[in-house]
Structure 1
Amino acid sequence: MSNQFDLIVIGTGTAARVAATRIRAAGWSVAIVDYRPFGGTCALRGCDPKKILVGAASAIDHTRRMQDHGVAGVAHLNWPELNAFKRSFTDPVPAKQEKSYAEKGIHAFHGHARFTGPNSLNVEGNSLEARRALIAAGAEPVRLGIPGEEHLITSEQFLALKSLPERIVMVGGGYIAAEFSHIAALAGAQVTILQRGERLLKHFEPELVDWLMEKFRALGIDTQTKTSVEAVDKTSTGYRVTAASAAGEVTIEADLVVHAAGRVPNLGSLDLDRAGTSVKDGRLQLNDYLQSVSNPAVYAAGDAAQLGPPLTPVSSHDAEVVARNLLDGNRHKPDYRGVPSVAFTIPPIAAVGLSEEEASRKGLKFRKNIGKASDWFTARQTAESVYGFKMIVEEGSGRILGAHLVGPHVDEVINLFALAIRNNLTASALKQTIFAYPTGASDIGHML
């Protein structure tokens, strides 16, 4: 006998939780399904635990920078203690979420959800039917297709390490590689990054990434670009990574090899063909309302939808849009204007709005203001040499089209630029704003 619901939500991350809660509050019967502990990537194995590690590593870095500037003594990371502190945040999450769902009358199912028809699923022998289904199953590491791929650990496994090996290789050059390499290096590991592309962090402006690379070098991180990993072999002492570069074959001995080469929607186990839900190149085919173009009963949100940037706030935004469309009919579209993005390196790098290349491609007329600001008070008072900005401002209107920052506090300051872009504020309006001083935000007027 089937269990009947108005909505079945696949996944228990940010998008799933927001949508399930909103729809249940409107009086619909709701079921939520996950084959992993409830909580999703961000809370359990992504943003939150990563930021715990970044915070500790940042403290070590700050202490080192302030040597000979009034701070004495040597600090170091105690990895087991840091791991225990991180778990004090992550361990309670699944039980808290399950309790919350139960209190709200949301039915929870554990196991793999597999579609058996356009409106039906099977979860470990339980047959479920619903008027609507929401796929919010998150993302998974992309397949690399190289010999020895099984020897690589994921970012999730890195975050769960009880001890940190001495020699670590990061395969890839995006957020995970950049952030985890700084954490590991400040914890005392010897880190090598092997990146197939021409540079790291391709979603950020090249000038700012170049400035940030000074910190990679200062931390002793060996960054090898234009280098493609071809195989990973198990040895008696660890692993041997073989890669190809313009200079020839590269061989590196490592104790740990980390997959940091990107993620794709986690759709493979859902049997979407049985639902009549079309997929192309690994992505759900969705309309402007986050609804399947081939099965109107199915919606998607967050990393599973992949219409907006793969960020937690976008997942929450998508879920709100889907919830409104389910309740009101398809009248709401996601709005990804002014979504800020941050790589939590040490110091962080941040961006919002258009890059210079994107603004040029759109044929917009703009002025560019770029500068390295290592001699500004914000940088000097933290003894941080990496600090800079790049602003893209539309000619005539004065609208801020893009803001790009690297250095102390930019993970917070970027939100002010996001507010400006989303609300069409001008550079003049921001310059006239009186910010508290001395803060990172008090530099905004000088950047514009």
Structure 2
Amino acid sequence: MGNLKFDVFVIGSGIAGQKVAEKCVKEGKKVAIAENKVLGGVCSNRGCDPKKVLLGPTEVVHVANRLLHKGISEKVKTNWKDVMQYKKEFTDPVPDDTEEKLKDLGITLFNESPYFIDENTLFVSGQEVKADKIVIATGLIPRKLEVEGGQFTKTSEDFLSLEELPKDIIFIGGGYIGMEFAHMSARMGTKVTVIQHGNLPLTIFEKEMVQFIVKASEDLGIKFIFNAELEKIEATDTAKTVHYKVEDTKGSCKANIIFNTSGRVPSIEKLKLENANVDHGDNGIKVNAYLQSISNQNVYACGDVADNAVPLTPFSGREGKIVAYNILNGNSKEADFPVIPTVAFTLPNIASVGLSEEKAKEKYDEINVICKDASSFYNAKRVNEKIYAFKTITDKKSGKILGAHLVGPEAGEIINLFSMAIYNNMTVDQIKDMVFTYPTWSSDIGSMFTE
């Protein structure tokens, strides 16, 4: 190719990087993308999209088991190989479709990870490549398990490509990924253990709601080992053993396979950022309000790898558009983060939006908090769901809705209505004045503000 020069060079082909590249090339810029794995990024290939496909059959199992002998006469049978084959219908086309789309736009593609030589120069495909603006959109990768034998663990990417589901699985870490995969595995017939450093999983959510998920998980047969300090992992031909300590008591557990679901970290270690004077920390590339590196004005970062990022796909795309706008028009558009709903796709779901009770008390003089077990509500009873609960937080003075925290079969959908309400500064009275179709899960919202 010879020495190359681009207006914009994007590292990473996920949704954030694609948005930058697409918008810049359409405005006449010479653009390149480098990707060291398959094109399309984590979410489409080995993250949220395939995970949600695998979730589908377990949702059927969950509903059928609740209604066993209440109209459903037999337990639902599942087949992991069929589920994985169905997943591939979604993931297999992604790399080729992404390549075709990007090439049709005139974007140059590099199939490897570059590294910085200086503030405007990368080394990729055996040559130096210069760019006026370089965008880092490399996302997150699994955190390394710093324990003896940590190399014997697998990652979430491995889980999403399992040929067969083993009889026993240990998940080290009870965050989103660990808990979602634990629920899927258990409903597919696997014996599951979750080892957690603290005393509860899913620590981003309100503890009252998490306790309901722990109960639902234990009812499913999932075993928890809380407050565990890992000591080492041993492997034989037939099994792997985790040795741990809880307070002063040592213990161990065995499984066919162990997954490291202890968290994810910015994917930056191969970039040689020091050569480009790009400041970074544990949370990723340090950026200003325009998503520009605070130390190198030629570099931007967007998506999960930016240190102010929210690790959610909708925000990656949003940030990619902001970076493209600032490259094309000068820094004139700040990254804005409206109210952010989040959900863990355990069954039932756990979801949250707005302020926690702790944060609300810090910001407001007086608040109303209603926290209830809603398993007696009609919607829960009609599907024989035993786990259904909510916690709503409002400003006592204005009646404005500040936060909502849910556990329930459709919490991942209902939370979006709370998100719209908070985004539009709605009050409790306004919510109660609304008419919802009945009986739907959304029609329960008005009752979630009643003592």
TM score, norm. by length of structure 2: 0.97
Partners of 1:314 and 1:360 in 2: how far apart?
Answer: 27
Residue of structure 1 in register with 2:262 after alignment: 261
Residue of structure 1 in register with 2:222 after alignment: 221
Q: CA offsets, 1:346-369, max 9 Å, x none? A: 111000111011112334431111
Match for 2:201: what amino acid? L
Paired residue secondary structure (1:170): strand
Residue of structure 2 in register with 1:111 after alignment: 112
Question: After superposition, where does 1:261-300 map in structure 2 within 5 Å?
Answer: 261-281=262-282, 283-300=284-301
Residue of structure 2 in register with 1:344 after alignment: 345
Paired residue secondary structure (2:404): strand
Verify the 8 A CA contact 2:25 2:31 in the aligned structure 1.
yes
Q: Does 1:131 align with 2:129?
A: no
Paired residue secondary structure (1:351): strand
Verify the 8 A CA contact 2:302 2:309 in the aligned structure 1.
no
Partners of 2:118 and 2:253 in 1: how far apart?
Answer: 49
Residue of structure 2 in register with 1:302 after alignment: 303
Q: CA offsets, 1:353-406, max 9 Å, x none? A: 110111123344311111110011221222111111111111222221111111
Partners of 1:355 and 1:212 in 2: how far apart?
Answer: 18
Residue of structure 2 in register with 1:71 after alignment: 72
Q: Which moved more, 1:158-167 or 1:421-430?
A: 421-430
Verify the 8 A CA contact 2:229 2:246 in the aligned structure 1.
yes
Q: Does 1:186 align with 2:187?
A: yes
Q: Does 1:14 align with 2:36?
A: no
Partners of 2:84 and 2:167 in 1: how far apart?
Answer: 17
How far off is 1:203 after superposition? Answer: 0.5
Residue of structure 2 in register with 1:385 after alignment: 386
Verify the 8 A CA contact 1:171 1:229 in the aligned structure 2.
no
Alpha-carbon RMSD: 1.3
Residue of structure 1 in register with 2:98 after alignment: 97
Partners of 1:282 and 1:176 in 2: how far apart?
Answer: 18
Residue of structure 1 in register with 2:441 after alignment: 440
Q: Does 1:175 align with 2:182?
A: no
Partners of 1:308 and 1:427 in 2: how far apart?
Answer: 31
Residue of structure 1 in register with 2:359 after alignment: 358
Partners of 1:236 and 1:315 in 2: how far apart?
Answer: 41
Q: CA offsets, 1:232-286, max 9 Å, x none? A: 1112421111011026111101100001100010000001111111123362221
Partners of 1:363 and 1:420 in 2: how far apart?
Answer: 18
Identical residues among aligned pairs (%): 39
Paired residue secondary structure (1:147): coil
Q: CA offsets, 1:184-227, max 9 Å, x none? A: 00011100000001211000010011112111111100011101
Change (3 A) 1:364 1:142: farther
Q: Does 1:402 align with 2:412?
A: no
Match for 1:101: what amino acid? L
Paired residue secondary structure (1:144): coil
Q: CA offsets, 1:26-78, max 9 Å, x none? A: 22221111010001111011101111111111111111111011011221220
Residue of structure 1 in register with 2:46 after alignment: 45
Change (3 A) 1:436 1:23: farther
Paired residue secondary structure (2:392): strand
Match for 1:160: what amino acid? S
Paired residue secondary structure (2:74): coil
Verify the 8 A CA contact 1:110 1:123 in the aligned structure 2.
no
Paired residue secondary structure (1:288): coil
Residue of structure 1 in register with 2:157 after alignment: 156
Verify the 8 A CA contact 1:278 1:292 in the aligned structure 2.
yes
Residue of structure 2 in register with 1:206 after alignment: 207
Query: Which consecutive residues of structure 2, in runs of 5 or more, have no partner in the other structure?
Result: none
Verify the 8 A CA contact 1:169 1:256 in the aligned structure 2.
yes
Verify the 8 A CA contact 2:286 2:307 in the aligned structure 1.
no
Q: Which moved more, 1:281-290 or 1:246-255?
A: 281-290
Paired residue secondary structure (1:349): strand
Paired residue secondary structure (1:231): strand
Q: Which runs of at least 4 in structure 1 moved beyond 4 Å after TM superposition?
A: none
How far off is 1:433 after superposition? Answer: 1.7
Query: Which consecutive residues of structure 1, in runs of 5 or more, have no partner in the other structure?
Result: none
Verify the 8 A CA contact 1:265 1:303 in the aligned structure 2.
yes
Q: CA offsets, 1:273-328, max 9 Å, x none? A: 11111123362221121110110010111111131321111111211221222222
Partners of 1:332 and 1:194 in 2: how far apart?
Answer: 43
Partners of 1:378 and 1:16 in 2: how far apart?
Answer: 42
Paired residue secondary structure (1:178): helix
Match for 2:24: what amino acid? I
Match for 1:70: what amino acid? G
Residue of structure 1 in register with 2:428 after alignment: 427
Residue of structure 1 in register with 2:233 after alignment: 232
Match for 1:358: what amino acid? K
Residue of structure 2 in register with 1:57 after alignment: 58
Residue of structure 2 in register with 1:2 after alignment: 3
Match for 1:289: what amino acid? Y
Change (3 A) 1:254 1:414: same
Q: Does 1:86 align with 2:119?
A: no
The alignment of Structure 1 onto Structure 2 pairs a total of residues equal to 448
Match for 2:108: what amino acid? H
Partners of 1:393 and 1:401 in 2: how far apart?
Answer: 5
Partners of 2:396 and 2:336 in 1: how far apart?
Answer: 24
Partners of 1:196 and 1:328 in 2: how far apart?
Answer: 46
How far off is 1:130 after superposition? Answer: 1.2
Paired residue secondary structure (1:233): strand
Verify the 8 A CA contact 1:378 1:440 in the aligned structure 2.
yes
Partners of 1:125 and 1:432 in 2: how far apart?
Answer: 65
